[in-house]
Amino acid sequence: MRPLVRWAKFNAVGGLGMAVQLCALALLNRWIRGHYLIASALALEVTLVHNFVWHVRYTWRDRLTQDSRLGRLVRFQLSNGLVSMLGNLVLMRLLVQGTRLPVVASNAIAIVCCSVANYCLGDSWAFAAERSGEDGLVSRDNRPARRFRSGPCR
């Protein structure tokens, strides 16, 4: 798959995930008033599961792997999850308390700030194509896969 097409798919999933996260945050922030960081973390976890499912089925569906989905989910949580959780919580605290921006607006800014790092980690580790001996990478249909050689990750 061409890098620009994959980047567009990643952003489409990210756009849906952003809507999920902001809606979940708005609801959770009403239910647990005064604890916007807890609400942010819970909304983010809902979004991580949502995005993982879509990335497996849409963004990186052409990547062949021997790993179970659980293995990919663990890598996704350790990469995108960690970047998103730390980035969101740090930026939320700075934006909400430091600049007095509303919670949902602060969260939208945090999501955008974490997106490039998340794409790079997803492409190079969480959903990386497997190596096929010395011949390089293969895709799901057993054709040689191209590594992402340009753009924000290289």
Domain boundaries, the chain: 3-126
Q: What is the distance between the alpha carbons of residues 126 and 142, in angstroms, rounded to a whole number?
A: 20
Q: What is the pLDDT along the chain (154 residues), one digit of tens a residue?
A: 898 999 999 999 999 999 999 999 999 999 998 898 999 999 999 999 999 999 999 999 998 677 778 889 999 999 999 999 999 889 999 999 999 999 999 989 999 999 999 999 999 999 987 665 544 554 444 555 544 444 456 5
Structure tokens at 148: 């992402």
pTM (two decimals): 0.79
Dihedral angle of Cα 84, 31, 101, 86, to the nearest 10 degrees: -20
